[in-house]
């Protein structure tokens, strides 16, 4: 199985380091021809699209750079998908579960078949790609949320939460990267089509994650708690953030399982603590 990863960023590199048989490209993609050239060079069985525009220092950047965000999150996946269709290469595109704002009336959470309600430029452009790519055969979309990893990184949810002096006390579905890497691999091998919520079953609050951090990593850590609304009214965020709970019936139909969220996050925090403590 030869996997070509497009997008030499955080998630792309994390997948590459786990899959010894994968190759990763950092070539700038501007056209279908650029993708065809990569396919002709590497002859992949499947492509993982881990390229996109997430905004730096955070997603609020996308509010002011709409065209760049549309190019990276909507046009780029369509260019990649068109080349994959021409060459009959399976494409797994990384989407985001942040296309849903608020909680579903179903207590188990939003299903992949539920229409989303994106509010921010980032989430609108990601959802536009989901809508178009889901019309194609031989394409999977793996929606992840609040990626959480044992390896420290600025984009890791653990590092984000401990860096903020004020944290909104909200409850969410999250994606533990170790589990995501296995699920993505399974979807690539099976050439699974459709949308998949690649989030650990259940939901966890920021307060629970920080409590685990204080228990296992740094008992001296301290932060203030604020409401979701105060995040915007106090100027800490430009646009309302997405908070939600997802369920994954499409993964269940394939018999693909992820660890329950509390088990997976605790395991991740224990491994994270070992790395942090070994660096002291």
Task: Using CB under 6 A, list all residues that contact ligand NAP.
Answer: 7-12, 28-29, 50-54, 72, 76, 94, 96, 126, 144, 147, 155
Cα separations in angstroms, 165 against 73, 171, 214, 220: 30, 18, 14, 13
Q: Which residue number, 130 or 274, has a Cβ lying nearer to ligand NAP? A: 130
Q: Which residue number, 155 or 256, has a Cβ lying nearer to ligand NAP? A: 155
Q: Is the Cβ–Cβ distance between 12 and 50 less than 8 Å?
A: yes
Q: Which residue number, 15 or 192, has a Cβ lying nearer to ligand NAP? A: 15
Token code pair at residue 22: 């994968």
Q: Which residue number, 29 or 269, has a Cβ lying nearer to ligand NAP? A: 29
What's the closest the beta carbon of residue 146 comes to ligand NAP, in angstroms? Answer: 6
- Where helices occur in 73-227 by DSSP H, the ranges are 76-87, 121-133, 157-163, 177-190, 206-216
Which residues face 43 on adjacent strands? none
In whole angstroms, give the CA distance from residue 146 to residue 243.
10
The residues, any chain, with a CB within 8 Å of residue 127's CB and separated by 6 or more, are: 99, 116, 118
Token code pair at residue 69: 């965000």
Token code pair at residue 206: 């920021």
What's the closest the beta carbon of residue 59 comes to ligand NAP, in angstroms? Answer: 8
What's the closest the beta carbon of residue 95 comes to ligand NAP, in angstroms? Answer: 7
The values of phi and psi at residue 155, to 5°, are -90, -10
What's the closest the beta carbon of residue 75 comes to ligand NAP, in angstroms? Answer: 9
Please identify the residue of the shown chain whose CB is closest to the bound ligand NAP. Answer: 9
Specify the 3-state DSSP secondary structure of 187: helix
What's the closest the beta carbon of residue 149 comes to ligand NAP, in angstroms? Answer: 10
Q: Which residue number, 10 or 196, has a Cβ lying nearer to ligand NAP? A: 10
Q: Which residue number, 96 or 172, has a Cβ lying nearer to ligand NAP? A: 96
What's the closest the beta carbon of residue 179 comes to ligand NAP, in angstroms? Answer: 14
What's the closest the beta carbon of residue 246 comes to ligand NAP, in angstroms? Answer: 12
Q: Which residue number, 53 or 210, has a Cβ lying nearer to ligand NAP? A: 53
In whole angstroms, give the CA distance from residue 1 to residue 189.
7
């Amino acid at each position: 199985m030869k996997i070509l990863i497009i997008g030499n960023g955080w998630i792309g590199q994390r997948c590459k380091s786990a899959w010894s048989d994968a190759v990763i490209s950092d070539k700038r993609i501007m056209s279908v021809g650029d993708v065809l050239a990569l396919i002709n060079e590497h002859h992949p069985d499947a492509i993982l699209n881990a390229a996109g525009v997430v905004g730096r220092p955070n997603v609020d950047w996308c509010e002011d750079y709409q065209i760049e965000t549309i190019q990276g999150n909507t046009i780029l996946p369509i260019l990649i998908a068109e080349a994959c269709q021409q060459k009959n290469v399976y494409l797994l595109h990384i989407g985001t579960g942040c296309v849903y704002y608020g909680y579903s009336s179903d207590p188990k959470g939003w299903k992949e078949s539920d229409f989303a309600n994106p509010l921010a430029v980032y989430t609108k452009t990601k959802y536009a790609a989901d809508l178009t790519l889901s019309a194609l055969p031989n394409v999977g979309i793996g929606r992840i949320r609040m990626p959480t990893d044992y390896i420290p990184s600025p984009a890791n949810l653990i590092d984000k939460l401990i860096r903020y002096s004020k944290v909104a006390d909200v409850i969410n579905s999250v994606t533990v990267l170790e589990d995501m890497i296995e699920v993505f691999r399974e979807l690539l091998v099976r050439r699974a089509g459709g949308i998949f919520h690649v989030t650990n079953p259940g939901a966890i609050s920021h307060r629970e994650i920080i409590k685990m951090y204080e228990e296992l990593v740094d008992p001296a850590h301290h932060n203030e708690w604020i409401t979701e609304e105060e995040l915007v009214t106090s100027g800490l965020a430009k646009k309302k953030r997405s908070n939600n709970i997802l369920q994954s019936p499409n993964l269940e139909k394939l018999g693909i399982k992820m660890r329950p969220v509390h088990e997976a996050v605790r395991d991740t925090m224990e491994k994270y603590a070992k790395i942090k403590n070994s660096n002291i």
